[in-house]
Amino acid sequence: MEKYRIHSGVKQRNKPFRLSVSKVMTIVIAFHQSGYQNFDTYYIHFVRRYLTNEFPKLVSYMRILKLM
C-alpha cells in the first residue's frame, strides 16, 4: 500500500557533481600550459571532449567557474 501513496509533490534534487579542489587546480594549471587563449574554449572544447576518462564527474562550465 505504501508504494501507491501520493507524495507531497516536493522534488528532491540529486547532489550536483563536484570536483575536488585538486582536480580544479589540475585543470587550471593544464590550461596555463596549453596554447589556448581563453579558459572557456579550453574547458568546453578540450577538457569536456578529451579528458572525460581522467575526470569522470566533470561539471558544466558555469559550475567550474563557481568552484574556482
In a domain, 3, yes or no: no
In a domain, 40, yes or no: yes
Q: What is the pLDDT of residue 35?
A: 92
In a domain, 35, yes or no: yes
pTM over 0.75: no
DSSP 21-49: HHHHHHHHHHHHHSS-SSHHHHIIIIIHH
50-54 contacts, C-beta under 8 A, 24 or more apart: 51/27
Checking if the pLDDT of 7 tops 70, the result is no
Q: What is the pLDDT of residues 12-67, one digit of tens each?
A: 666 556 788 899 999 999 999 999 999 999 999 999 999 999 988 899 899 889 88
Number of domains comprising the chain: 1
Cα(32)–Cα(19) distance, integer angstroms: 19
In a domain, 28, yes or no: yes
27 versus 4: which is more confidently predicted?
A: 27
Q: Can you give the residue range of the structural domain that contains 62?
A: 17-67
Is 64 exposed, middle or buried, given 0-12, 13-18 or 19+ CB atoms closer than 10 A?
Answer: buried
Checking if the pLDDT of 4 tops 80, the result is no
